[in-house]
Amino acid sequence: MPPWHARGRVAEVRSTLVLNASYEPLTTVSLQRAVVLVLQDKAVVEQAHPLRTVRGTGVTVPVPRVIRLQRYVRVPFRQQAPWSRRGVLVRDQHLCAYCGRRATTVDHLQPKSRGGTDTWMNTVAACAEDNQYKADRTPEQAGMKLLRKPFVPTPQATLMMALGLRGSDVRELADWLPAQVVAAAAPTAA
């Protein structure tokens, strides 16, 4: 699947922010799922797209941008994001740590075959070519320089990843998100 297709799909798929009954942001869902939750009275629309509506059988519903669950859902508090391949790609903005081009794979600095672990500090996004070239070696052994060091995502980035939000979403949804998250996503003032 070409990357631009995947990107468009991801942006399309989860476009509605879901708040807990207590107004804490929980996750994002597709528009279709959001409309179903509203029609089933499981959620209410807190913010709608100003000019758009969805027409169902006999009903017209505003296109929900933010919905809130009618019943409180208990969620465990996570300070640090659990490691995942997808998480590494998102953290590194899908850019190869070695050449800066588009990355689709995750490279282990200390290869797994040499005891390397699935952790934030041991993994970076990499393009398939560089990952293949590096193979079972450390960057030093392969003579490859890292353009940037791996890091553990901050609690703000962790929430962003859990919600599947991009910077542009954060500006639009600022009213519903914790202030630190909005501040972390804001472009740096000159």
- Catalog residues that contact Zn ion under the rule CB under 5 A: 96, 98-99, 127, 130
> Closer to Zn ion at the Cβ: 62 or 139?
139
Give me 144's structure tokens: 């490859």
* 97 close to 148: Cβ distance less than 8 angstroms: yes
Task: Report, in Å, the least distance between residue 74 CB and Zn ion.
Answer: 42
- For the chain, list the strands marked E by DSSP: 16-19, 25-29, 43-55, 60-69, 105-108, 123-126
Q: Sheet of 60-69: strands edge to edge?
A: 25-29, 16-19, 60-69, 43-55
> Closer to Zn ion at the Cβ: 17 or 144?
144
> Closer to Zn ion at the Cβ: 66 or 127?
127
Task: Report, in Å, the least distance between residue 33 CB and Zn ion.
Answer: 36
Exposed/middle/buried for residue 126 (C-beta within 10 Å: 0-12, 13-18, 19+)? buried
> Closer to Zn ion at the Cβ: 28 or 122?
122
Task: Report, in Å, the least distance between residue 149 CB and Zn ion.
Answer: 16
Pairwise CA distance, residues 118 & 24, whole Å: 30
Among 163, 167, 81, CA closest to 118 = 81
Task: Report, in Å, the least distance between residue 6 CB and Zn ion.
Answer: 18
Task: Report, in Å, the least distance between residue 135 CB and Zn ion.
Answer: 14
> Closer to Zn ion at the Cβ: 67 or 127?
127
